[in-house]
Amino acid sequence: MMKLATAVISAASLLVLPVSMMAQENGPPDKVTEWVFQPCFDSSDAGWANGVVPWIEAVEAATEGTVKIQLEPSGAITSGSEAFGATIAGMIDGTACWATVYGGDMPEGMLAFGLAMGASNYRDAWAAMWGDPKYRIGELVEEAANERNLHWIGWSSQGPNAMFTKFPVTKMEDLAGKKMRAGGPHALFHEAMGGAPVSMGAGDIYTAIKLGTIDGTYWDTGGIDDMAFHEVIQYAIMPGWCPSQHQEIFVNLDKWNELTQWQRDRIDEVFMTTYFETSRMHMEGVAEALATLEAAGGEVVHLSEEEVKRMREKSVSDIWPKVAEKSERNAKGVELWKQFLTDIGEL
């Protein structure tokens, strides 16, 4: 049985949070600050109701209404692929996205998203990124964000980013030669496993699977029913290539610095609480999505512990170095992730 990192860190260490969270000055300001947020997705994505909306509600409550956030869907102001850059430029005040995919020149987003066969669950991910002072990998991501005029302000685990296929997978060799929709980090994994990654827009995946153009897709598990993938695939392969995929929330750094210290402290205080709340909500969505697949006649395949270990070892040897070479911070973060997984008995 794999050990949870929460077993090796104290409750007190979980309270060691990112950025400035100690000072509590004065009280709520008289001025109300209004922000416009546009994620790189719309309300159909699981990250909307189970990630961004609870975080916004928590921020507005914590700041006693002195920070108001207007949430707009992808495309309302800019395209989803441009939302990250638009936040850097100040065209919008904030965004929620996967910096690995939409981050452009921010490779450190891969450390926050989740490495191939990395953390097994959101508790372990929190411990490595923020909870245990021995690692604090999240500080590397925040440094990179600051250099790009961003502040990393929210985080949520969306559960497994898994393989959804028309063919069964019980070992990595079963992926050899298979054409799967995969982009960015998923493509690195699929190629390492001997598969043929195919890049395409999300709106084309359903039809491509149905027509046989591709054999399946990598996707966050809680979102497969939203995309109706259960109608065209037969198998969900757990725990997937990334057992705990994460979505990040960023705000323009200039807009962040315009807040009072009291407001910044209040927002920082909900970073951890909303992480655990929204991660739990996403895991409930994962269970519902897999139940929908099974009700449609599909099958959930759980890889054996031995096979997970094999895939993790191959990921660490073949994929993680490609992540590390993208920046000095990535190299440091990858080494910390290796140490973390070794310390909890998974490497």
Helix (H) or strand (E) holding 335: helix 328-343
**Domain assignment present for 238:** yes
CB atoms under 10 Å from CB of 29, counted, come to 15
CB 229 within 8 A of CB 219: yes
Note the pLDDT of residue 17.
Answer: 52
| Cα→Cα distances 160→36, 232, 243, Å | 29, 20, 4
**Domain assignment present for 324:** yes
Neighbouring residues of 243: CB distance < 8 A, sequence distance ≥ 6:
114, 117, 118, 119, 120, 121, 160
Note the pLDDT of residue 11.
Answer: 40
CB 66 within 8 A of CB 9: no
Same domain membership, residue 176 and residue 263: no
Same domain membership, residue 129 and residue 104: yes
State how far the Cα of 237 lies from the Cα of 16, in Å rounded to an integer.
Answer: 35
**Domain assignment present for 226:** yes
HEC profile of 249-307:
EEEEHHHHHCCCHHHHHHHHHHHHHHHHHHHHHHHHHHHHHHHHHHHCCCEEEECCHHH
CB 327 within 8 A of CB 144: yes
Note the pLDDT of residue 201.
Answer: 86
| Residue given tokens 């315009």 in the structure block | 258
Which range of residues forms the domain containing residue 56?
A: 32-159+245-288
pTM: 0.90
Digit-by-digit pLDDT tens for the chain (347 residues) are 444 444 444 443 444 455 444 444 579 999 999 999 999 998 988 899 999 999 999 999 999 999 999 999 999 999 998 999 999 999 999 999 998 877 778 999 999 999 999 999 999 999 999 999 999 999 999 999 999 999 999 999 999 999 999 999 999 999 999 999 998 888 999 999 999 999 988 889 999 999 999 999 999 999 898 899 999 999 999 999 999 999 999 999 999 999 999 999 999 999 999 999 999 999 999 999 999 999 999 999 999 999 999 999 999 999 999 999 999 999 999 999 999 999 999 99
Amino acid at 104: G
Neighbouring residues of 317: CB distance < 8 A, sequence distance ≥ 6:
none
Q: Is 142 left (phi over 0), alpha (psi -120 to 50) or beta?
A: alpha
CB 149 within 8 A of CB 91: no
> Tokens standing for 138?
């999240």
Burial of 305 (0-12, 13-18, 19+ CB in 10 A): exposed
Residue 246 has phi, psi (to 5 degrees) of -120, 150
Same domain membership, residue 126 and residue 188: no
**Domain assignment present for 251:** yes
CATH code of the domain containing 307? 3.40.190.170
Number of domains in the chain: 2
Same domain membership, residue 221 and residue 104: no
- 3: DSSP letter: P
Same domain membership, residue 264 and residue 194: no
Note the pLDDT of residue 25.
Answer: 58
State how far the Cα of 288 lies from the Cα of 220, in Å rounded to an integer.
Answer: 13
Same domain membership, residue 80 and residue 216: no
Amino acid at 14: L
Give the residue from 122, 135, 139 showing the smallest Cα distance to 51: 122
**Domain assignment present for 26:** no
